[in-house]
Amino acid sequence: MSTPLTIDNLVIVRGTKVAVDGIKINLNPGKITALMGPNGAGKTSTVLGISGVVEPAFGEICMAGRDYKGADSDVIRRAGIATVPEGHQVLRELTVKENLLVAAGDLTGAELTAAIDWIYELFPELRERANHIAGDLSGGQQQMVAIAQALVVTPRFLIIDELSFGLAPAIVNRLVPVIRRIAEKGIGVLLIEQFTQLALKLADHVYVMSRGGISYDGGPEKLRQDPDILHQAYFPVSDREAVGL
């Protein structure tokens, strides 16, 4: 569990556009890393490239001496890199427990029991609704199921794309201690998040993306002290000039 995940010189092309342009990101076990930036900056393309949904054009995605660039998403997940896609994606026709069992794959016996018990410890709400149809749950509860699906195999790294998307503030606040407990277990977390305050509250390290590249790589405290760094990423000079700012 002590092996870092290193994304180096990653290039991702979507259609005819370079969506991610040679970025470098280091993820460490037990640490929460935030990836921030405006819409269109390349954050989701980065997630899709790391998780194997989109094949990068160039670069490395290395863990334990192996390069996973271009590997199938199932191979990446079995290696210990689990992703929670944006939008609370669950198996809507199945119960909460069935969602977890499907995501658990080959886990059986005591190992499976321990994994599900840990999930229910993190999310007591899901224990209470274990036999409820996932599609009938609230958006916040579905997000809990989506996170639980990724966690049930106890990954080395957990990537969460837009944790707070579409959720009420009370639900977001409920998820904050859960993310911290996941990191305390030794799992490295990459949090892609539009909500600046949430990301800075949780993160040990922050990357800011702008136009496919990394415009900031450092601690959250500097961003709190100098909000203009984020402002420039979200509103580049050329964009401000275009609208007369």
Q: Which two tokens stand for residue 25?
A: 């990101």
Write the DSSP string, 198-226.
HHHHH-SEEEEEETTEEEEEE-HHHHHH-
Closest residue by Cα to residue 207 from 227, 223, 186: 223
Output the pLDDT for position 237.
Answer: 56
Answer yes or no: are the C-beta atoms of 144 and 125 closer than 8 Å. yes
Output the pLDDT for position 241.
Answer: 46
The fold of the 5-88+155-242 domain, in CATH, is Rossmann fold (3.40.50)
Distance CA 55, CA 57 (A): 6
H helix or E strand, kind and range, residue 14: strand 5-14
Output the pLDDT for position 238.
Answer: 53
Query: Model pTM?
Result: 0.90
Distance CA 106, CA 191 (A): 27
pLDDT (tens digit, 0 to 9) for every residue of the chain, 245 residues total?
Answer: 479 999 999 999 999 999 999 999 999 999 999 999 988 899 999 999 999 999 999 999 999 999 999 999 999 999 999 999 988 889 999 999 999 999 998 888 999 999 999 999 999 999 999 999 999 999 999 999 999 999 999 999 999 999 988 889 999 999 999 999 999 999 999 999 888 889 999 999 999 999 999 999 999 999 999 988 888 888 765 554 444 44
Output the pLDDT for position 39.
Answer: 87
Distance CA 239, CA 47 (A): 26
Closest residue by Cα to residue 36 from 176, 218, 180, 241: 218
